[in-house]
Amino acid sequence: MNLFFSPLACSLASRIALYETQAPARFSQVDLKQKHVIGGGDFRAINAMGQVPALQLDDGTVITENTAVLQFIAAKAPEKNLAPVDTTARAQLQQWLGFIATELHKAVFVPLLDRQASDAVKEYARDKVANRLGVLEKHLSGREYLLEAFSIADAYLATILNWASATNVDLKQWPAVHAYHQRMLQRPTIARAVAEEFAMYREEQARQKA
């Protein structure tokens, strides 16, 4: 398997899931601005959307979209219990993956992070923060994880919450969300993935400035 990623982007969630499952995987860094794979290759030939994550299997099949990539990685290592199979728990997993992907990732954080988004777009996104994080605050109060145990939804949520400081979203306003994020950052697979990608992010920034 080969995970196409960009440092500290949403593809970090898939790296965390791969570390959790200990599946043998290669990691190919993508320059998202130029849409090329560092080391060579047009990334649009891998994913016509030009977006990470993209997971290329050994037979050449490419899986895209966070929710699909994460569920695929989890399904390859069922013994790690990263995605419950019980019908209700599975629906709840998909509920949270959908919430994170659409209500947080795309509706809130992408516009806030996008330097080209207009003030009106940013305001529209910022208006949604209190409601979305309020929903999470209520759910996470008294809970360790989104579901009964650590799952791919936690890998994804921890990844998205990493963007709060860069977008001036003060998680301390939602104490249970803040405590959850801090807890997730201490989980060894997440700590390792964040540390590795933070170093790559700094290198990427330096390259782009040079």
Contact footprint for ligand GSH (CB under 6 A): 9-10, 32, 50-52, 65-66, 101
- In the complex with ligand GSH, the residue whose CB is nearer, 47 or 137, is 47
- In the complex with ligand GSH, the residue whose CB is nearer, 121 or 179, is 121
- In the complex with ligand GSH, the residue whose CB is nearer, 163 or 180, is 163
Shortest CA distance to 156 belongs to which of 28, 11, 4?
11
- In the complex with ligand GSH, the residue whose CB is nearer, 21 or 159, is 159
- In the complex with ligand GSH, the residue whose CB is nearer, 113 or 176, is 113
Between CA 23 and CA 95 the distance in angstroms is 26
Supply the minimum distance, in Å, between the C-beta of residue 95 and ligand GSH.
16
Supply the minimum distance, in Å, between the C-beta of residue 41 and ligand GSH.
16
Supply the minimum distance, in Å, between the C-beta of residue 33 and ligand GSH.
8
Supply the minimum distance, in Å, between the C-beta of residue 66 and ligand GSH.
4
The 8 Å CB, 24+ separation contacts for 181-184 are: 183/144, 184/154, 184/157, 184/158
Question: On the CB side of 2, how many CA atoms lie within 13 Å of its CA?
Answer: 15
42, 48, 51, 53 alpha-carbon torsion, rounded to 10°: -90
Q: Do residues 62 and 96 lie in contact, with contact meaning Cβ atoms separated by under 8 Å?
A: no
Between CA 84 and CA 114 the distance in angstroms is 34
Supply the minimum distance, in Å, between the C-beta of residue 175 and ligand GSH.
26
